[in-house]
Amino acid sequence: MGSKAENQIEQYSGQDFGDKISFTVGVSYMLASSIGLVKGAIEGFPRSLNMPKKLILNNFFNAVGKRTSSYGQAAASASMLYYFVGAGMNLLFEDELADINQLKKNMLCGAISGAVYKSTLGFVPFIVGGIVGGGLIGSVTLLVENLNRKGVVAFEMKF
């Protein structure tokens, strides 16, 4: 057993950084890839069956692969940005954020992440990305808190 000081050092040493980010990015990649799989299957379904079977299968798998990879990669990069913004906020503004509840912290982090994610497209997408990011993370936080109270999940949405 270590002393109290050793336990505090271990708690803040960042040893679980890789676990947290791999969970965040992995889950978002898999969920978005599943959505992309469904959308790609709908888009790739042949309109008419008077084409050769090889061409039908090629079109189907091209559509599925295109949507699955693009949705998964977009969600993974957005969630990685969310995690890095949250880690930066904790590092730089720990005292200022101490009085704010977890939902507001997550919404602020999501708004900043969404705004930065869409910032290269102009001012209007920057604002829309911030609103969508904050709203999406806020709703996911409320969902996870509700499921956590019911005992369905055993993790919390906090950075």
Q: Is 122 left (phi over 0), alpha (psi -120 to 50) or beta?
A: left
Q: Grade residue 42 by pLDDT with cuts at 50, 70 and 90.
A: very high
Q: Grade residue 9 by pLDDT with cuts at 50, 70 and 90.
A: very low
Under 8 Å between Cβ of 121 and 132: no
pLDDT digits 0-9 by tens, 44-55: 988 888 888 899
Residue 10 has pLDDT above 50, yes or no: no
The domain segmentation of the chain, as residue ranges, is 17-80, 100-158
Percent of the residues in the chain that have a pLDDT greater than 70, as a whole number:
90
Report the distance separating Cα 100 and Cα 102, nearest Å.
7
Mutual angle of helices 102-117 and 123-150, in 10-degree steps: 150
What pTM value is reported for the model? 0.79
